[in-house]
Every structure is written in C-alpha cells, then in structure tokens.
Structure 1
C-alpha cells in the first residue's frame, strides 16, 4: 500500500513538473510572438519640433543618426528629463547653465535639452524663460504629448541631440553639476582623447561613464527605513543576477556617453520606465562598450517621483524582463541584428 502511495506522489510530482515545463514553454512562445524585436517608437509631429521664442517659429529637431559636424553641432548635449518639475528644475538649470556658459570659447559649444515628459504644471513655461535668455542654439525644449516614463523621455532627448558627447542629468539637481569635470576626466582616460579638442573623433568612439552614489550607501542606509533598505538591496540583487555586473549604482541619473555609444544603446532600448538605465548598461556590456563608474557628490532632494513600493516592484519586473526577453530572442541587440 505504501509503495502505491509513494508511486502516486511520484507520478503527481512528475506530471506537475511536466505541466510547469509546458507552461514555461508556452509563456516563452507567447512573449516571443507578441514582442517587437526592435523598439517601436512613435513620435508625433509636435514632438519632432521645438519652439524658438526669439523667432516665434517651430523648428525641426536634428537626429543623433546624423554624422557630427563642426559647422552645425556642439561638443556637449545635456539631456534633462522633467515631469512636473516647476520647483526643482530652476535651481538645477541655474547651476548647469552658469557653469556651461563660463566655458564658452573656441573649444567648447553646448546645448541643453529639457524633455518635458507630459508635464501638466509650469515646467514648460519656466523652461521657455531660459530658452528666451540663452537662445535656441543653446537651450531647447521638447514637449512630449503624454507621459512616457523617464526612459522614454531620455530616449527622445538623446535622439534629438547634436553633441559629440551627451550628459544625462536629473532635473532635481541632486548631483552637483561641477562633477561633470570628474566624468570628463574618466571619459578621456577611457578613449584617450579630449572631446573638447577633438569632438569629431570622440563622437565616433564608444564609451560610457556612470556617476555613482555607492560610496554614500552607508549614510543613506542610516536615514532609510528597514523596509526601504530591504527593497534597495533586493533591487541591487536582481540587477546583479539578471542584468548588469561590475556597476554598483546603475540608477544614478548622472551619466556621460559618447555620441556613438548613445546611438547604439538607445537604438535597442525598450524599457521606458525607471529601469531604463539597467537596460542601457546591459546593452553596453553585451556589446563590449567600455563602461566606467566614478563617485559623484549627491544630495537627496525632496519631491522624488518614485513611489517607494510600486516603483521598486515595477523596476524589479522590468529588470527580469530585460534578461528574459533578450535571452529568448524576443528583443535583439543593435549589434546583433541581421
């Protein structure tokens, strides 16, 4: 009797495992068939243009796919995604533009692109004040019709940049903008060329430098609740397990990319939410793009758009799907396309 019971349990176990296996295969097939191998990005006519307050006209944004030209393009593009940032954006822009404007000269030209991610406050109105002051050659506003998420906003800003080098910077100003100098030094050590002196050469090279808050982890841990600390470590574990290794802080919003690296990574990028940084670095590591991480100064600014539990769960899900979809071939890397 006992042997029959053991046999029944064994059969149930085998049937259960077989059922799970077929369910997994079915899920893989479904995800593969319903996913686009390359990202499909819909851009409205309004989002393709920027408003020049001095000429009162709408002008077409350029494309990062264009070859860099010394006659029309700039050394550095600063991409700032902003969703309802009417209060935190002005101090950040003041610090950013004062520093960049002080560097103007024979070997430096810049542009700042604020991407309003469907904002419904005065983010656009405030940005237009800066556009009026600095002119459309140095300050442009991209107004997204609807909220796409941080990754979606950054992608459209990247695709419209004229820089040989591109800087991603958060609208909250949590990172001191003068730390750009640190990122620039590390970029030069990666590629061996100063982009301010040889922008045409640097624009064709591939490299990424990530600002990092990892050195501030102990201080941040002391001010967080145990639950938020647990969520943070859980997310870091998922990133290490499924996506990116060797980068301790993938989520710092202060990153410097060469034009070619930005074009390649964002041509394959699917994630439009908070975890877009993880996919960008995943793509870079898979395609052997040099990536460096360097400590930057960072201060937490009130008004974060991250919802403590929901956002972490969504980011964790996105990290798993990055691994899963690339692994089964539902998503394809830029350098691996037929």
Structure 2
C-alpha cells in the first residue's frame, strides 16, 4: 500500500507542476506588453453645463485643483444621487470654510444602459462644469478602466476614488487625508492612503452566508499569498492618491475589472510608494454589481495572472504617457 500511496502522491505532484506550468505559459502568451489605453473620439471631451463640448485635460498637466473625486458609475441612476448629494454637500461646506480649497467631481459613466449620465448632468448644471464633470465612455470598460479614464482626465493635486453607491461616509476623506499626510516626506511626491473595512470584518461575517464568507477568506488569502501582503482590505473603493502616484500607477495598470485595486497596490509596493491603510465608516448598500461566485472566480484568475505575468516578465513596470 505504501508504494502505491507514494506513487499516487508523486503523480499528483507532477500533475500540479504540469498544470501550473501550463497556466504560466498561457498567462505569458496572452499578456499584452503594456496597458491598452485608448480614447474613442467621443471620450476626448466632456459636455459642459451649457451643452458645449470642452476638451479633456491630462494627468500630465500641472494640477489646477486641490482635489479631484473620481466616481466610476455603471447603471447607477438609483444610487448615484445619494452619493453625490452627500459628497457635494461636504465639499461645498468645506469650500465655504476655506475659500482656498478647490475641487472637482468627475462622474465616469462606464457605458451605462440606464440614465446614469443624465442624472450626473443634473449636478453639472446645478454646480457648474468647473466643479462637476461627466465623462461618458462609449462602451463598458470595467471599474478599473473607468477609474483610470477619470484619473487621466483630472485636474487635482490629490485624487480620491469614491464608489457611486456612497457606501463609505464621504466626510471620512479627512481620515485618509490625515493618513496621507502622516506618510510624509513622500518620495518623488508619491503616496497612497487606502480606506479600509478590515475593522468591520467580524460584524460582516455574521451577516453573510458560510459560502460568501468562505469566498471572502479565499480571496483575502490569494491577495496576501500572490500580490499584496501589507494591506488587509485592498477592495475598498475609497482611496486617496497624490497626483504623481496616480499617474505612475495607473499608467502601468493592466487589469480593468474588479481586481484592478490589487494590481494598483502591487505596482505601488513594487515602486516603493508608501501606502497607509485607514479605517473608514462603511455601510453595505443594496444593488452591488458583483455576482458572488463568478465575480470572485474572475478575480481569483486575475490575481494569479497578475503574479505570473510580472514574475515571467510579460508585464513590466514601465510608464506610458496617455492623454
């Protein structure tokens, strides 16, 4: 029996090595060397409050605002108003307290099939197109692709990623701003502060099914094992970056779907960009676009490919300027 068991173990090990080798080859062959960034003609301008076209600025231009808020939105006509009301109420009050504070909110309509763009344009007309801009993408790129398009079109010295569902209390921007300041001095003016829900994990487990809890722990393990070891919550959509950090990391980003946060932080760690993780107030909002099993499966595949493609040199940390 023992020789048979040893042979079986050896056969399984050989099969695992062969499978990993095949996956590595596939990951390498199917990889694009540099991020595929392309703007359609319709994406090279935004429509202002008067209905006129204005050209999109570039991340490579000097900043003219203190803060840019990028809001990726796909079929968010129902959830977007609550988030925008809260964010703009906070930003307007802050500007009244400090007239030197300047901001813009960029809503990136990621090829929505509903009235997301129309809802966002109402805020553009109310607050003016210098404060609220709507960038409409020709087709759906995925959350990471939408955020990147917004980042490359912003004017802020600091750039905040914020989800359209408003799950994170917007006033907690002050917490991530403090986290960013505490990282000073910033090497090459680059730093990132990530909002985090890790402190809420035990409470969320009691509200989830065993299956979803298992998926969550499996994903966290893969993130830690393959890519990012120092950040407990990579997926919170509330992240603040300096303009230089955003330009460098998003210029090297390949993943455009849900796992883009992981690659973003993986790139940042490889570039030795300091990262802070800051606890924020977060409430689960109905209407998530994540499909529990298939989205986690896709993210698991992306995590493996991120690691293998950088490991084999299929992806390299080079920056490409995009307008």
TM-score calculated relative to the size of structure 2: 0.91
1:38-60: CA deviation from partner (whole Å, max 9, x where unpaired): 10112101112100122x21111
- C-alpha separation in 1, matches of 2:26 and 2:92: 52
Q: Is the 8 A contact 1:247 1:293 kept in 2?
A: yes
**What's 2:172 paired with?**
179
- C-alpha separation in 1, matches of 2:116 and 2:288: 15
CA change 1:315–1:9 in 2 (3 A) is closer
**What's 2:37 paired with?**
41
- Deviation, structure 1 residue 185: 1.0
Mapped pair 1:298 → 2:282: yes
**What's 1:276 paired with?**
260
Equivalent residues in 2 for 1:9-28 (5 A)? 28=24
Equivalent residues in 2 for 1:108-147 (5 A)? 108-147=101-140
Mapped pair 1:248 → 2:241: no
- Deviation, structure 1 residue 224: 0.3
- Deviation, structure 1 residue 253: 0.5
**What's 1:286 paired with?**
270
- Larger C-alpha radius of gyration, 1 or 2? 1
State the Cα RMSD in Å. 2.5
- C-alpha separation in 2, matches of 1:15 and 1:231: 29
Equivalent residues in 2 for 1:259-270 (5 A)? 259-270=243-254
- Deviation, structure 1 residue 261: 0.4
1:231-261: CA deviation from partner (whole Å, max 9, x where unpaired): 0000000000000011110000100000000
Mapped pair 1:94 → 2:108: no
- C-alpha separation in 2, matches of 1:254 and 1:75: 17
Secondary structure, aligned partner of 1:59:
strand
1:137-161: CA deviation from partner (whole Å, max 9, x where unpaired): 1110010111111011001011111
CA change 1:229–1:12 in 2 (3 A) is closer
Secondary structure, aligned partner of 2:37:
coil
- C-alpha separation in 1, matches of 2:5 and 2:103: 70
1:269-296: CA deviation from partner (whole Å, max 9, x where unpaired): 1111111000000000111000000100
CA change 1:20–1:86 in 2 (3 A) is closer
**What's 1:79 paired with?**
70
Which residue of 153, 156, 165 maps to 1:160? 153
Structure 1 stretch displaced more, 20-29 or 138-147: 20-29
TM-score calculated relative to the size of structure 1: 0.87
- Deviation, structure 1 residue 229: 0.2
**What's 1:169 paired with?**
162
- Deviation, structure 1 residue 135: 1.0
Q: Which sections of structure 1, spanning at least 5 residues, go unmatched?
A: 1-5, 193-201
Q: Is the 8 A contact 1:204 1:259 kept in 2?
A: no
**What's 1:197 paired with?**
none
- C-alpha separation in 1, matches of 2:188 and 2:206: 43
1:3-38: CA deviation from partner (whole Å, max 9, x where unpaired): xxx999999998998887677656545543442221
Structure 1 stretch displaced more, 35-44 or 174-183: 35-44
- Deviation, structure 1 residue 335: 6.7
Secondary structure, aligned partner of 1:50:
strand
- C-alpha separation in 1, matches of 2:178 and 2:7: 63
**What's 1:63 paired with?**
58
Secondary structure, aligned partner of 2:58:
coil
**What's 1:3 paired with?**
none
Q: Is the 8 A contact 1:115 1:154 kept in 2?
A: yes
